[in-house]
Structure 1
Amino acid sequence: MADIDIRRPHSRSLKDARAAIERVAEHIAAKFDVEYGWNGDTMEFSRSGVDGHIAVTAKEVHVTATLGFLLMAIRGPIEREIHQYLDREFG
């Protein structure tokens, strides 16, 4: 079960949605020191204490992440940050 589960509909092409998620991932990687890479249309990311993915389809972006014990304490701020980046890209 994921500790963070965010679904965001979009109306962009799959190519544009992937490019937007790449920009989101760059911000998140810089802020939270995560490593990420694409596996098909799913971006996988991880660091000590967090594993997750961002699946991109023609109609939706789906972010899931499982947080370790220490990061659970800042789950709210992490979720807000993800929402802010998604708002900027998919507003």
Structure 2
Amino acid sequence: MSRMLLGSAHEQVRNRPAAGVAEFVQGQVDAGLYNSAADVIEDAVRRASEEIWPNAEAIRAALAPGVAEADAGVFYEGTIEDILAEARATRAKQR
């Protein structure tokens, strides 16, 4: 028998968790690993954000030079073919 994890009965029906999620969460609580379903969910969100956000920060860092150039009004007006040709030429010079 599944127990209601969050909110009202109306929210439970409208926001039904994916199959097995409620049972998993309750199993974590029943096993004594967490004090409540909210603790299980909070920990899951924290862990997910630790995996996702470092990647997002790396992406932001990689894009920062281009964003700064765009903010300064510096734009490249070539085609993708031009960009690829320049990249190939740069790589060939580095070899």
Tell me the TM-score normalized by structure 2. Answer: 0.25
Quick check: which one's strand share is greater? Answer: 1
Q: In proportion to residue count, which structure has more helix?
A: 2
Larger Rg: 2
